[in-house]
Amino acid sequence: MTANEELFARACQVIPGGVDSPVRSFRSVGGTPYFVARAEGPYVWDVAGRRYTDYVQSWGASILGHAHPKVVEAVQRAAADGTSYGAPTEREVLLAEAIRERMPSCQRVRLVSSGTEATMTAVRVARGFTGRDKIVVFDGCYHGHADTLLAAGGSGLATHGVPGSAGVPASAVADTVVAPYNLVPAVGGDVAAVLVEPVAANMGLVPPAPGFLEGLRAACDAAGALLIFDEVITGFRLGRGGAQERFCVVPDLTCMGKVIGGGLPLAAFGGRADVMSVLAPEGPVYQAGTLSGNPLATAAGLAVLELLDAGAYAQLSGRAGELAAGLAQVIADAGFPVSVPVVGPLVGLFFSADAPTDFASSKAADAGAYRRFFHQLLDRGVAFAPSPFEALFPSLAHSHREIERTVDLAAAAAMASREPA
């Protein structure tokens, strides 16, 4: 047994599935997950001392690369002053101001500890503000694991959601309508909010079709519904102002996470001042958190945002472009149909000739080929996401040379992934 196998066997005895979040378990790709002992820059090392070039980067939480000295220093300093107070701090104000400065639609902001909390509360705020219950979401988008948002769609039409998990009562999703991505659904006068990933990154990477986001904005305006952008992945990654800046569509509420916590548990939601004022203690919509605005997490977030200037985003997009072009070339050279969508610093990878535009076309890509390629690449020391439905997250620590190395290894991995004729 390898060190990873031994640890996984022990983990499975004491932790359901051996992991604290399902996708880490390798269920979609098979095999034993690597247990990370440490990480630095573009690399993680497993408990056996093996190094991987890491494109998971904590599922997008780490945009500077792992253990960036500025972030480590900020967290160490903050920790020395105490790890949590249960009272307001200056850094919470600074971070909220930094968010507002970058995303002007967030006139007011509240800090929470996870993306799940951000989306769950944004929906509650929308319902409280409009006095309506119904929400519209899109098949294949992921918004965390609140009951209301764990709804499964299915057909090519907008339908009332069915529970997307055991344990979610039908009543919890009775007011959740699930529509196909990239088609503007009917939005009636009973809809509180339309919630969308402005660039979908949880069914692989699926960009918005031209006019889709604008269409949602218009449909919400006509119905008096709120438009909520889930920018947990895109926020502070696509650029300083996230997807809303890139696509010039202004939502009423925005959910953020990942990048703004610099790898610590921090997320946020923000939006129009009049909408946000329904939150307790100003208004009647309740939300709270013992660790909200945690001093270590806000210190990390501020350190990260400070380093994300126009040059950083240009570098990220450049590297993502190199990675995407290289992967598309070498995987096609190995004889696979492949499409490698890229939106700024985000890269997707589908073993399909056409780039998917919704969940149905994403699911039609060859998951078996992804599985084989993933393992061939992992054997060569490069860690892609252990699921075909995730994006790749090149960081600022991935140098040009590192990307070239990845593409070379991907060429060998793709050739080795071919099934015998």
Binding interface with ligand PLP (CB under 6 A)? 59, 114-116, 119, 142-144, 197, 202, 230, 232-233, 257, 267
**To the nearest whole angstrom, how small is the minimum distance from the Cβ of residue 24 to ligand PLP?**
12
**To the nearest whole angstrom, how small is the minimum distance from the Cβ of residue 362 to ligand PLP?**
15
**Residue tagged active-site, from 258, 313, 358, 370:** 258
Strands in 84-212 per DSSP E: 108-112, 134-138, 151-152, 159-160, 162-163, 176-179, 191-196
Which is closer to ligand PLP, CB of 140 or CB of 185?
140
Which is closer to ligand PLP, CB of 267 or CB of 355?
267
Strands 162-163 and 191-196: unpaired
Cα-Cα end-to-end distance for the chain? 33
Which residue of the chain is nearest ligand PLP when measured via CB? 115
Which is closer to ligand PLP, CB of 202 or CB of 357?
202
> What are the tokens at 291?
């660790």
**To the nearest whole angstrom, how small is the minimum distance from the Cβ of residue 325 to ligand PLP?**
25
Which is closer to ligand PLP, CB of 62 or CB of 202?
202
Torsion angle, alpha carbons of 181, 388, 199, 128, to 10? 70
Beta bridge partners of 137: 178
Beta bridge partners of 230: 255
Please choose, from the candidates 146, 140, 134, the residue with its C-alpha nearest in 3D space to the C-alpha of residue 226. Answer: 134
Which is closer to ligand PLP, CB of 108 or CB of 143?
143
**Residue tagged active-site, from 142, 181, 313, 370:** 142
Has 142 been annotated as catalytic? yes
What phi and psi, each to the nearest 5 degrees, are found at residue 122?
-60, -40
Q: Is 242 helix (H, G, I), strand (E, B) or coil?
A: helix
- CA-based diameter of the chain, in Å? 67
| Cα 387 to Cα 367: distance, rounded to the nearest angstrom | 9
8 Å CB contact between 136 and 161? no
Beta bridge partners of 44: 39, 52
C-alpha angle 118/121/127, rounded to 5°?
Answer: 140
**To the nearest whole angstrom, how small is the minimum distance from the Cβ of residue 71 to ligand PLP?**
18
Q: Is 8 helix (H, G, I), strand (E, B) or coil?
A: helix
**Residue tagged active-site, from 139, 230, 252, 358:** 230
Which is closer to ligand PLP, CB of 235 or CB of 326?
235
**To the nearest whole angstrom, how small is the minimum distance from the Cβ of residue 88 to ligand PLP?**
23
Residue type, 114: S
Which is closer to ligand PLP, CB of 140 or CB of 295?
140
What phi and psi, each to the nearest 5 degrees, are found at residue 185?
-80, 165
Count Cβ atoms within 10 A of the Cβ of residue 363 and give its class: 0-12 exposed, 13-18 middle, 19 or more buried. middle
**To the nearest whole angstrom, how small is the minimum distance from the Cβ of residue 405 to ligand PLP?**
27
| Cα 84 to Cα 419: distance, rounded to the nearest angstrom | 54
**To the nearest whole angstrom, how small is the minimum distance from the Cβ of residue 158 to ligand PLP?**
20
Has 181 been annotated as catalytic? no
Residue 209 is classified by DSSP as P
**To the nearest whole angstrom, how small is the minimum distance from the Cβ of residue 119 to ligand PLP?**
5
Which DSSP string corresponds to 281-318?
A: TTSSB----TTTT-HHHHHHHHHHHHH--HHHHHHHHH
Which is closer to ligand PLP, CB of 139 or CB of 322?
139
Kindly report whether the peptide bond that precedes residue 281 is cis, defined as omega within 30 degrees of 0. Answer: yes
Q: Which residue has the tokens 């992945």?
A: 233
Has 134 been annotated as catalytic? no
Residues catalogued as catalytic: 142, 230, 258
